[in-house]
Amino acid sequence: MKQRSWHINRREFIRGGGAALALPFLQGMSWGKAAGEALPKRMVVSYIAYGVYEPKNKDGSHHDWSWWPCKDAGPLTFNQSAAPFAPLKDSVSYLRGLEHAGGIGMGGHSSGDVFATGANMTEFEMTNNISVDQFAAKVNGHKTRYASLVLGTEGGTGSYGSAKTLSHYGPSRPIPSMHRPQEIFNRLFKPYAGKGIEQVRADLKREASVLDLMMEDSRRLRSRLGKEYQQKVSEYLDSIRALEKRVERTSQWTHQPLPNVDTKGLNLEVSHKDPEEYTRCLYDLLYLAFQTDSTRFATLMLESEQSQGSEMWNYANYVLGYKGATHDIAHKRPKESGQWDNWRAKQHAYFLNRLRNTPEGDSNMLDQTVVVWGSAHPHASHSTKNYPIQVAGGKALSFRHGNLHSFDGEKKVPLANLFVSILNAVDAPTDKFADSTGEMTL
Amino acid sequence: MKSPLLSVRIAPVIAWAIACVSLVGKALAGEIPAGKSGFESHIRPFFETHCVECHGPDKSKGKITLHSLDGDLAAGRELERWELILDALKHQEMPPEEQENRPSAADRNAVVKWIESSLRDYVQRAGKDMVATMTRRLTNFEYQNTIRDLLGIELELAKDLPLDPNKPYHFNNTAELMMIGPDQLVRYKEAARKAMASAIVDPGKPDVYQARADWGHDKPGKDGLSQAEIGVYQGPGVGRKTVRLKSWPKTGEFRIRVVASGNFPPGFQEVPLRLVMGTDLRHDSGAGNYHEVGTVHLTNSLDEPEEFEFRGRIENIPVQPASVHRNKRRPTSITITAQNIFDNGELNDHRKSGFDASWSVKAPRVVLQSLEFEAPVVDRWPPEHHTRILFESPLRHTDNGKYAYEVIKRFMTRAFRRPVAREEVDHYHRIYKIYDVEFDTLEQAMRETLAMVLISPQFLYHSVMDQTAVTKPYELASRLSYFLWGSMPDKELFELAASGKLNDPAVIETQTCRLLADKRAAGFVENFTVQWLSIAKMKTVNIDRDLFPRFLYTVHVGERRGQEVLFRPTIRDYMHEETVGFISEMIRNNANVMSLVDSDFAFLNEPLAVHYGVDGVHGLKLRAVPVKPEHRLGGLLTQGAVLVGNSTGSAPHPIYRAVWLREAILGDKVKPPPAEVPALSDSVGDSADDAVSIKNLLALHRNKESCYDCHVRLDPWGIPFERYSAIGKYQPQVPKDNVRVRGFNHQQDSTFADYQAYLKSIYTEEVEATSRVPLGPDVDGMIQLKKYLLKERKDEIVENVIQRLVSYSLGRELTYHDRFEVERLLKLAEKGGYRLRDMIVSVCQSPTFTSTTTKN
């Protein structure tokens, strides 16, 4: 991308100003946390699309522009592509040789659907299934104002086979991702839209009784309908019920003060045409949601596998001046490929650094947050095997880092095992998720 | 068995030779006994001889196997699979052309006939009950239109709803995908509140907000223009004048009056003035968010200034948030931007380094003398959209409760698109009472109550019918209006439904034509066309500006130099309008549906005409233009939306184009590339840096066995498009193989002649565009491809259009149940001379469309 003086300067101004200008400015911490309560345990799943660059040097040495930071299992060293993570060495791990068996039959451009769910959509879970963040949110979501936060760069749910979200409540219940910074901010931090708290409570109370009536009437309606309609109206009823619960929850949370978040330095009007600013804005919002303990479980679909028709299609061009579409950079593998991976790594490292630089308890926020970053479309060839997976953070939740782990062996280890470990680490105990066969110790 | 390395060219010859000499298997010509006995005696042996080797216990290519079929179609099992087999045989896709042991035509036809009649028997016996009609929610497009027609105000609500699912070449109204989850419902609730806040106004006259600006044509401005003039260029962006609003009402209609004229250099008669409103449009950074208010094409000259009026809803306008700049607080604001969007297709001819202000003087200017903003419009108060709901009635003052009940009932009848049951009204009246206690005014309570009507299942879903209401004709009325308008029925349709006349085929015909002639049909045509032809991706294809320096109108100065000028319509927007307008024009003229393949007209404005090399088209308004052979236009295949959308931005992409042709025009389902198939470049070598002609690339790719099976049926359809470049222009030459071409350099190639010389220097080799289409002849280029399609593929193409129309009109994918109805419609179309509007009429008259789920 061309250097734009105003642009860089502004960023320097925002980011380089040290703690006093930390973006954005926050007043106080620990919103609504009862004294003595344990520190929050969080999880993020984030997704990059169209595979990563995995060239091999002829002499057997590790390629400088491979997405993988080093060649052999063991302690991490960082090549050029993964260099942004070098300062985070003791907080990241790379996992090689993992995938979801359920995604294998889907083709690279569809397997992103199941990255966070591990569902077998080609055979017996046609409408996908619950995602790992929602599994945790069901158990612990009540502890925060919002059970979870679902972000994406393209917004909505997408269709089966071309999801624009990573999160699902369960079969045939995709959760639309939010992609407009201003809207995300408002939903997180301005839920009362400027109304006074008494007014909000009165509104909620009234809303609850109206929803009750809506529920009653829809039940009556359902009983009168033919079978073919009942299913749809049931879907509607479930949604009304969920809404009722939300109203109840919102009412309870009105007794906790809203976090006071200053938007200074946060460009919520950022254009999709400015990849770095936009991507970081999403990361910043996610960071803020965590910092204010508004939620603890989040997904972030940084790119979808079907981004034709959105600006993501042009990101490789905007960032690197690459002449083709973002998708093509994966197929054609020109020399820019490594730089593209490197750019994505920089953005993710930015987020991890922000978490790490924020003290929490005796350590920092990153140690309380497990962050998965990777793709279900690993290579140029529409492959659905051997995902690129990086796990970061969560050191206070029993995760150990600094190594490349290889699972290339005979006995296949499901990626879902990682999810089981994460769920247990964030106090959503389970011994099974999707096709897991056990836990994964890092 | 076939050798994977056999080139496509030789394979069919061999296959043909073998077919002539060998007669393997049982001769099947003639009738095959119906039912299971025929299966055992003829069909199974046929499968075993010709199919099971690839589709059996050992191999299951395409995941289809035939060996396990029991032949009992009457039992209704495996019918989807049978239909696939039927289509593959019927269209001679299987057994594959290169297969040595192919059945004779007579044998194949006999098998086709047997499957077809078995399937038909089953479908007829199963009858209508088996047609799974699922109800579905309104799509966002339908939601917004319905609110518009229900309330009588245009609000952009859909942009705040989660995006509808969207799949290339599929319609987004498919019932299975139309779900409502809690998040969706939250947004519906917010949208409904917003809509009702606008629809019902508070009692009393509102404050009217005004703003005004004047500019003098006698006063000098910048760059040789007067203060009142707007040229084409301004700094890095489009020429503009702005007025900043500091205050405005929360809701309401606004009116903008401008006094304007055109300043025309010799040879120009028209200049477009466009108004947009929203945030500051930052041409340097690309930030900005706006709503288009309208465009007038000025033809009046300086000495005859005229007043023009624009209207819109203030709710739709993006607001610039408050900010702090250098310790000064800037309050929220809205900017009205008046633009000169003149474009004669030559904007990028003037690629001199630095800003060329002279072009602004050479091109027509808008002379904007004054601009006056006013909101809300109070010519009539309360406005019509308010009294439509809270109608004038003495009842309001005598019996408030009864009045409220009546208001709710009237509103619900329209919102539910049918008469409502007493219980239904009672329910919302109960809700009203809850609100009534808490709110001071009827207006407030009614807004909340009616907002709940707008999140009811009866509003959000298509035809959720309470059996207590007499609703069948209303269901049909809705089906018609949602098909052809994407919105609720109007008064006339409601009245026809009420009188019970709607089911009459003659009435359906009249209504279909009436609906299609209405301006609301424009939404249908656009929605249908964009999804059917999958052209939306055209807008984001990244055009290589070195190879095509004149395609996009680019910024000449500043940091964004070389990038596309923002905040104005582009050639790609016009290409979108071209394709949508082309289909509209076909419907309007009741044209032969094969005009999709070739037509005697194109739908163009000046920038498009210049792009395609057509003379004599002036102005920005698109219109039908007769085409001559030398234009190499006509039909969809040569339209920019198709060609650009299915290119890489630097080169044509024969595979994308082949997929497009097969999916959108021929109606095939092309499978996506399977997992673990190496990408094009990987199967050729390490790098695609050296230009290798795509045709050679594909040939290399095809020679891999894993790629062969699909590509042999795909590539040949894309090759004939090769003479049309990535930007959709006829370009019979390409760069030489294995040579890196130099990019355009606008310092070196600054004049138009330099540009021509540059093109000549890189495009040196004649394009090869010959391929043998599957089961067809050698086809060289577009003209021959079109000829072939017109002659040999007519039935497939017409059938495809019928299927699309039926599928869209019903909001579901078609199944084998619909097969024979589509067949009937095809015959009907043939009889009527394949007229597109007539075909839409017969779709609406078809029993599949008119059969409703409710009993009358």
Between these two residues, B427 and A1, which has the higher pLDDT value?
B427
Contact flag B675-A108 (C-beta cutoff 8 Å): yes
Q: Per-residue pLDDT tens for B43-71?
A: 888 888 888 888 888 887 777 888 888 88
Does residue B191 carry a pLDDT above 70?
Answer: yes
Q: Dihedral sign, CA of B224, B227, B232, B233?
A: positive
- Of B332-346, B643-657, B713-727, B735-749, give the lowest mean pLDDT range: B735-749
Among the partner-chain residues B536, B542, B675, the one whose CB lies closest to the CB of A309 is: B536
Note the pLDDT of residue A148: 96
Does residue B629 carry a pLDDT above 50?
Answer: yes
Q: Assess if residue B843 is contained within a domain.
A: no
Q: Assess if residue B491 is contained within a domain.
A: no
Between these two residues, B10 and A383, which has the higher pLDDT value?
A383
Class at the top of the CATH hierarchy for domain A5-188+260-425: alpha beta
- Alpha-carbon radius of gyration of chain B: 31
Contact (Cβ atoms closer than 8 angstroms) between residue B388 and residue B445: no
Q: Per-residue pLDDT tens for A225-240?
A: 777 678 778 889 989 9
Query: Do β-strands A42-47 and A297-301 pair in parallel, antiparallel, or remain unpaired?
Result: parallel
User: Looking at B126, B155, B180, which one is the last position of a domain?
Assistant: B126
Confidence tier at B602 by pLDDT (50, 70, 90): very high
**The amino acid at A75:** P
HSE of B300, CA atoms in CB hemisphere, 13 A: 13
Between these two residues, B360 and A215, which has the higher pLDDT value?
A215
How many separate domains does chain B show? 4
Q: Among A63, A221, A311, pick the best mutation site for testing chain B contact (most B Cβ within 10 A).
A: A221
How many angstroms separate the CA atoms of B148 and A250, rounded?
A: 32
- Copy the structure tokens of residue B172: 């987004």
In the block, which residue shows the tokens 């009546």? B406
- Residues B198 and B281 both lie in one domain: no
Q: Assess if residue B96 is contained within a domain.
A: yes
Report the run of H or E that residue B367 belongs to, with start and end. Answer: strand B365-375
Please state, in angstroms and as integers, the Cα–Cα distance from residue A278 to each residue in A317, B281, B710, following that order: 15, 18, 39
Among the partner-chain residues B464, B676, B678, the one whose CB lies closest to the CB of A233 is: B464
**The amino acid at B219:** K
Contact (Cβ atoms closer than 8 angstroms) between residue B245 and residue B211: yes
Contact flag A206-B688 (C-beta cutoff 8 Å): no
Mean pLDDT of A54-78: 92
Q: Assess if residue B762 is contained within a domain.
A: no
Q: Among B540, B564, B660, B727, pick the best mutation site for testing chain A contact (most A Cβ within 10 A).
A: B540
Q: Which residues of A touch B329 (CB under 8 A)?
A: none
- Residues B651 and B581 both lie in one domain: yes
Contact (Cβ atoms closer than 8 angstroms) between residue B732 and residue B765: no
Q: Assess if residue B191 is contained within a domain.
A: yes
Q: Which residues of B touch A323 (CB under 8 A)?
A: 542, 544, 546, 649-650
CA-based nearest residue to B181, from A220, A241, A154, A138? A241
What is the SS3 assignment for B476?
A: helix
Q: Per-residue pLDDT tens for A196-210?
A: 888 899 889 999 999
Note the pLDDT of residue A157: 84
Please state, in angstroms and as integers, the Cα–Cα distance from residue B554 to each residue in A125, B206, B607, B819, following that order: 48, 45, 15, 50
Does residue B143 carry a pLDDT above 70?
Answer: yes
**The amino acid at A285:** L
Confidence tier at B682 by pLDDT (50, 70, 90): very low
- Residues B531 and B457 both lie in one domain: no
- Residues B200 and B213 both lie in one domain: no
Confidence tier at B584 by pLDDT (50, 70, 90): very high
What is the SS3 assignment for B297?
A: strand
Q: Assess if residue B161 is contained within a domain.
A: yes
Q: Which residues of B touch A324 (CB under 8 A)?
A: 542, 648-650
Mean pLDDT of B396-409: 95
- Of B113-127, B304-318, B447-461, B640-654, give the lowest mean pLDDT range: B113-127
- Residues B308 and B188 both lie in one domain: no
Q: Assess if residue B702 is contained within a domain.
A: no
Q: Dihedral sign, CA of B491, B497, B499, B504?
A: positive
In the block, which residue shows the tokens 């307008």? B581
Concatenating the DSSP letter of every residue in B591-645 gives -BGGGGT--SEEEE-HHHHHHHT--S--SS--EEEE--GGG---SSTT-HHHHHH
Q: What value, to the nearest 5°, has the Cα angle with vertex B663 and ends B659 and B665?
A: 110
- Chain B, residues 149-178, CB within 8 A of chain A, namely 160, 162-167, 170, 177
Q: Which residues of B touch A110 (CB under 8 A)?
A: 672
Q: Per-residue pLDDT tens for B771-823?
A: 998 888 999 999 999 999 999 999 999 999 999 999 999 998 888 888 999 99
Q: Among B177, B464, B855, pick the best mutation site for testing chain A contact (most A Cβ within 10 A).
A: B464
Mean pLDDT of A333-352: 91
- Copy the structure tokens of residue A415: 């990626």
Confidence tier at B107 by pLDDT (50, 70, 90): confident
Please state, in angstroms and as integers, the Cα–Cα distance from residue A162 to each residue in A47, B522, B538, B837, following that order: 13, 29, 18, 34
- Copy the structure tokens of residue B111: 């098998």
Between these two residues, B154 and A23, which has the higher pLDDT value?
B154
Note the pLDDT of residue B651: 84
Concatenating the DSSP letter of every residue in B195-221 gives HHHHHSPPSSPPP-EEEEEE--TTSB-
- Residues B348 and B261 both lie in one domain: yes
Q: Dihedral sign, CA of B803, B809, B811, B815?
A: negative
How many angstroms separate the CA atoms of B219 and B368, rounded?
A: 13
Please state, in angstroms and as integers, the Cα–Cα distance from residue B337 to each residue in B221, B283, B528, B619, B837, following that order: 17, 13, 32, 21, 40
Does residue B470 carry a pLDDT above 70?
Answer: no
Across chain A, mean pLDDT equals 85
Among the partner-chain residues A7, A220, A380, the one whose CB lies closest to the CB of B679 is: A380
Contact (Cβ atoms closer than 8 angstroms) between residue B294 and residue B310: yes
| ipTM surpasses cut 0.85 | no
Note the pLDDT of residue B16: 36
How many angstroms separate the CA atoms of A255 and A236, rounded?
A: 30
- CB contact burial B105-121 (16+ within 10 A = b; e otherwise): eebbebbbebbbebbee
Q: How is chain B split among helix, strand and coil, in percent rounded to 5? A: 45, 15, 45
Report the run of H or E that residue A92 belongs to, with start and end. Answer: strand A92-98
- Chain B, residues 675-704, CB within 8 A of chain A, namely 675-682, 687-689
Confidence tier at A8 by pLDDT (50, 70, 90): very low
- Residues B550 and B602 both lie in one domain: yes
Q: Identify the DSSP state of B681.
A: T
- Chain B, residues 525-544, CB within 8 A of chain A, namely 536-537, 539-542, 544
- Cβ-Cβ contacts under 8 Å between A and B: the total is 224
Q: Per-residue pLDDT tens for B296-328?
A: 999 999 999 999 999 999 999 999 877 777 778
Does residue B26 carry a pLDDT above 70?
Answer: no
Does residue B13 carry a pLDDT above 60?
Answer: no
> Domain containing B427: what range?
135-204+385-469
CA-based nearest residue to A44, from A277, A306, A310, A282? A282
- Of A133-137, A161-165, A262-266, give the lowest mean pLDDT range: A262-266
- Of A115-119, A343-347, B27-31, B485-489, give the lowest mean pLDDT range: B27-31
How many angstroms separate the CA atoms of B528 and B549, rounded?
A: 33
Cα-flanking dihedrals φ and ψ of residue B692, to 5°?
-120, 135
Q: Identify the DSSP state of B834.
A: S
- Residues B317 and B429 both lie in one domain: no
B472-484 helix and B521-533 helix, angle to the nearest 10 degrees: 70
Say whether residue B559 is in contact with chain A using an 8 A CB cutoff: yes
Contact (Cβ atoms closer than 8 angstroms) between residue B781 and residue B720: yes
Does residue B132 carry a pLDDT above 60?
Answer: no
- Determine if the peptide bond prior to B382 is cis (ω within 30°): yes
- Residues B646 and B775 both lie in one domain: yes
- Residues B250 and B361 both lie in one domain: yes
Query: Do β-strands B601-604 and B623-626 pair in parallel, antiparallel, or remain unpaired?
Result: antiparallel
- Of A348-362, B123-137, B344-358, B628-642, give the lowest mean pLDDT range: B344-358
The pLDDT > 90 percentage for chain B reads 54
Q: Per-residue pLDDT tens for B207-263?
A: 999 999 999 999 998 878 999 999 988 877 888 999 999 999 999 999 999 999 999
Enumerate the H helices of B734-793 as residue ranges.
752-762, 781-792
Mean pLDDT of A17-45: 53
How many angstroms separate the CA atoms of B496 and B493, rounded?
A: 5
How many angstroms separate the CA atoms of A159 and B554, rounded?
A: 35
How many angstroms separate the CA atoms of B225 and B444, rounded?
A: 52
- Residues B286 and B304 both lie in one domain: yes
Does residue A254 carry a pLDDT above 80?
Answer: yes
Confidence tier at B723 by pLDDT (50, 70, 90): very high
- Residues B562 and B627 both lie in one domain: yes
Contact flag B680-A311 (C-beta cutoff 8 Å): no
Confidence tier at B855 by pLDDT (50, 70, 90): very low
Q: Assess if residue B482 is contained within a domain.
A: no
